[in-house]
Structure 1
């Protein structure tokens, strides 16, 4: 019974997003499995399980690394783990210009090019948390942010 509860916990919790804790990446350990309560009418049992987990919840001001997955005239999207971060054109260095004629589309300056699959370092400037997803806006306008090798 305990092994079933453990496997059910891993299957139901890992990879999900909760508004309070963020994305649950992995369950590290199970601290306690409470006594089961039989639900009236259905015969099912409900257990309270306390566990430790690795979570990811970006916050305002945090500097993170990610990979660009889409570039458009309005800005570009960066995958930072399970979170997609949008970097608006206004939050990109002034010397970087959008080049729609390049293939793939990109933002370019004299020494940097941002296109699909480019690794970038950015700062989170805002987040919005839904019950099942986290949305974020980022900036590469500050020093030491932008393309990384």
Structure 2
């Protein structure tokens, strides 16, 4: 398996992954056209984030999005992992772990990067166990949000 930055030709695969992920994890049917525009926006405006994909035998099997949070406390950037999706037939085989380690190594090599954060749906116990197994903790902060419909 290789982990690499996504390229524009990966756009449709990432859109499919996001639509599938929302349905699987939150039972939300996303509008594919809206998701297409959202994914495309990341490729056209890199300050919004960066997608990474995992490939096995030349086939894209997973993706995730990194976004950036400025931390004045740390005088650096914290990487947020979002939109994580691993194809069902490849789950439980260390795919996410490989992607996480790829990002973690980038953070360790760059003094401007200070850490990694993510949020998980409270009911997604499987994902939460994976994150904890990789050494992430949920004890520090609670996430609050307001989203308009």
Larger Rg: 1
TM-score band (shorter)? under 0.3
From the two aligned structures, give the one with the greater strand fraction: 1
**Normalised TM-score (structure 1):** 0.25
**Normalised TM-score (structure 2):** 0.25
